[in-house]
Amino acid sequence: MGSTLYNGLLLLEHIRQPDQFNSCHGECVVVLSHISGTVDLFFTFVGPCAVMVVLYMRVFVVAVSQVRVIRLQTAATAAPTAKKSERKAARTLGIVIAVFLMCFCPYYYPAVTGEDTSNSLSYFAAVSWILIMNSCMNPLIYALFYPWFRKAIKLIITLRILQPHSREAKIL
């Protein structure tokens, strides 16, 4: 419901005059004004980016503090492993954020430069696919860096998660 209302407000001008930008019969061209594009930019890109960075930084700070507690409890034997896990977590979070930005920035480039956004632009289809592909990137990134994540996904895909004693599976 919220998505429908939000997109309806963005496309209000197009809804009022649906054939305003069409040059051929049956063609559907949607143009977002600079104001609509800017509002969309902040609600669907800048805002979520800020929230994501803040939340990931909080997760990272908590992870680092827990690693330090573990390091203190296990003395010097865990120090190299703890530093390595801190670097790995920071690298993974950095990659997740970088991939998100690389997928979303091309889509929002016209709004940032002050241009009207139109679905008739030559690169719109490719940029839309890149934006949509971001949805499947995080699981791939985590699977690339964490063996336990790969094991969990394998349990889910093979439906072994539905077996009676699946909660006792060794993932870590």
pLDDT tops 80 at residue 51 = yes
Residue with tokens 């669907």: 44
Q: What band does 71 get if pLDDT is binned at 50, 70 and 90?
A: confident
CA distances from 69 to 34, 48, 64, 66, 162 (A): 51, 31, 9, 5, 36
Q: Give the residue extent of every domain in the chain.
A: 2-137
Instruction: Look at residue 49 in the predicted model and tell me its pLDDT.
Output: 83
Instruction: Look at residue 115 in the predicted model and tell me its pLDDT.
Output: 64
Of 105, 96, 141, 144, whose CA–CA distance to 123 is shortest?
A: 105
116: left (phi over 0), alpha (psi -120 to 50) or beta: beta
What value does the mean pLDDT take over residues 103-111? 79
Instruction: Look at residue 56 in the predicted model and tell me its pLDDT.
Output: 80
Residue with tokens 């990137």: 137
Helical (H) or strand (E) element with 167:
none
Instruction: Look at residue 40 in the predicted model and tell me its pLDDT.
Output: 77
Which has more pLDDT, 7 or 65? Answer: 65
> Looking at 65-69, 116-120, 167-171, which range is the least confident one?
116-120
Instruction: Look at residue 116 in the predicted model and tell me its pLDDT.
Output: 57
Write down the mean pLDDT value for the chain: 76
Q: What band does 118 get if pLDDT is binned at 50, 70 and 90?
A: low
Task: Compute the distance between CA of residue 149 and CA of residue 171 in angstroms, rounded to an integer.
Answer: 8
Task: Compute the distance between CA of residue 85 and CA of residue 71 in angstroms, rounded to an integer.
Answer: 12
Cβ atoms 34, 116 nearer than 8 A: yes
